[in-house]
Structure 1
Amino acid sequence: MGSNLLLTRLLAPEAFGLIGLAMTVVVALSLLSDIGINRSIIREPDGDTPAFLQAAWRVKVLRGLIIAMGVCVAAILLWLLGPHFAAPESVYADPLLPGLIATTAFVALSSGLLSCNSDLANRRMDYRRIVTVKLSGQLISILATLGAAYLNGSVWAIAIGIIIGAIADVLLSFLCYPGPPMRWNADPQIAARLWKFGRWIMLSSALSIFHTNAEKFILAALLTPTEFGLYIIAVTWLGFGMMLFSTLQGRIGYNAFSEISLSRRHDLPRVYRKLQWLADLYLISVFATLHFGASPLIDLLYTDTYSEAASFLSLTAFGVLSARYNLATELLMSLGDSRALGIASSIRSVALVIALPLGYWTGGVVGLILAYALYPLVQAPFLLFRLHGHLPRSVNLMDLAWPGLVLVLAVELVGF
């Protein structure tokens, strides 16, 4: 966020829209091929052995190559077709976009080269080392971006910073994490186990392309580059608010659930209820800050050029409340029920296909953004039913009432 605030003094709003859409493409293709390698390393009994880590690294490298090639193909198609099909004032018509998308292929390639010893550190919950390494990589990326923006003043400054940060992450993953050396281990049995656990995750991740990026692909065709850049600023703040929650649920919640399910499963409902109560308190606090404080926040931290981002931020803030059931998915995953994740993603996909057109038809861009923020709530009944099947004492009244309360709140506040 500090980097974002400084860059808004050096770059125009449309720069954030262009790089935001370019990164959306590489994220979408990454989700399309995600089989949960890091989760397998954490949950498998032999996930900390050299053979398993090396076999997992081989799969990661191949996946990174495939994603990078897909990104290049997307850039070529946009370069060839964009001028003919995109509206002249839309983001897709900007001549810089194909080149920016092609540049992000390097990010996909480098993510595949990351040492699996970083996942081993996650399994061991060595968070002091993890945080230190990640902060070091972020600092290198931020300094490179700010330096390039000061010298260049265009969207390419952000692209340069992203590439340098990706290189730093790869080097740090090999230099700073202890563990076995990465080798090309083509063990068919380990590969089969990775696929058996990850196939449902792959379905869920493939569907997540629409869940996490659908509104950006649509809004890029409806908004000008400047307006889309302001929307990306709002989404950045939403991500900032959700960062701590996502990190804790993925690294603390999942790891804790996995450990307890193996050693003392009877304690899972109690631990889950305690963590869910803390999560509810955090999500409500973040929502209140971002929704009611959007205008003061943007006016205080940004120049007048970015003031319209506040209206986008107040709408996207409802997405914080919709993330409430993410902790339940972590618990189901720790129990080995990856199929539930795939089914829940399918439910969300159907809801998204219905919600976005309906939202745009009833409220234009505002309705579309609000529909996108609220649609994840539709998966709640299935997740609670599945969770009750595994742990009957884990579901309570608040779990059932939350979606209705959020919908009523959204209608009242947006109407007001």
Structure 2
Amino acid sequence: MTYNVVALTEELPHARSVIRGLKNAHPDFTIRGASKASVIRLRDEEGRPFVSVEMPQAVEATTDVRRLLGDEAADHLTHNAWWVEVRAPANNPRAAEAAHRFAATLVEHHGGQVWPTEPRWNWAMDLPTGEADHPSALVETEKSRVVAVDSPVVGLSAAIADALAAGARDSRGLQVLTPASAHITHSLRKVLAASGCRWVVEGPGNGHYDGLTGMPLTWEDDLGFQARRDGAPPALAEQRGDPGLALDLHFIHPAEADLRLGEMVEHTTKLMCGEPPTAWGTNEPALMAWDPGRLTDLCRGRAPNPTRVVFSGPGFAGTLNVSRVVEGVKESLSLVAGNADHTALPELLAELPDSFQSLTTHRVPGAADTHYRPVLGGASAPLGLALGPEVVAQVGRAKAMAAPVAAETIGPLWSSVLWYPLGEREPRELWRRFQGLMDHLGQGPT
């Protein structure tokens, strides 16, 4: 998998409608999972997934419909709408057509629209072949799990998140393969930037490339896509767009009964972007209306296991990770915004609680719409680093104030935040200054 089709229906499709739609997609194949109400699969004559249908999700907030599918899809939504995700194997055009037939049948009986409206085939090259046990995987090697996704915007979907979780169990790195025309979201980029993971992009030319760096890749049967060793230069086309502002903030709160998670997300987005999030969810699309109370209940219900949620609002999107640590409850917030003003950072830092640990901020080329494109838009540029009172104490105030980048003290002396603005310079010089600052402080952000 996956070739993705979305049915945006005006009514909640019931189980009989789903089964009827799958029979219309291919009447001779077998339906599995109809009684479990999670993922229903149509399997071919050899038992392989042919069309998979996820449980319908109520569209409480339309932000991600617009962000992932576009303005036209969002503008045509009715008041009561449901998102039904339909997937087919990425290497099977016949299954893609069946997925469209299924979605069309749902819309015929429940109203709404199908996105995209017609089957598409954006792959320019033959896809890797091999065995795969995970239903979302195109192929699995000894060290990697390759998920191919043909979609204009690829997010951190339930299918990709499940493949990532499977990798944590069997020690396989996640590789997401997309056509050259695809974009990925900030939440997915955070996952694929981790060690062992990779965004693999087709072309230009007859090759594959790392979508984050442009590094030419080659296929190795036991490892999946790996960097070429022949010294080939990065080959993705350069294309600059309006930049976005990326923020990463970390907090450690006391583990108190009245702790309300998500408030730092609200505070940050209100000040930096003008308003709080409108949507959240455990994966993309984020379709639930923003509600820190529900978010807190979810995290408490999963504790002591960690929880990752995504959120979005007009012009911004991000990820919140919540985990239990010895000191209390850790919140790590990652945000990219096209409408944020980095000059408001000192004001934000002045209003953060004592649980604040650290902040880093970067200017990211081409990410004004919160998407990342597989092009060399230029290196991201660090803009500054901030340390909270507890981290300043750990480093030592005298040492922190003697850093090679001048610190601005924000707040009262006994509980102050140190803000290190890097100034307006070329990206290479900004990175040099940032690295020198980090070397001096002797630690990375919490």
User: Which bin holds the TM-score, normalised by the shorter protein?
Assistant: under 0.3
Q: What is the TM-score when the length of structure 1 is the normalising length?
A: 0.27
Higher helix share goes to which structure? 1
Q: What is the TM-score when the length of structure 2 is the normalising length?
A: 0.25
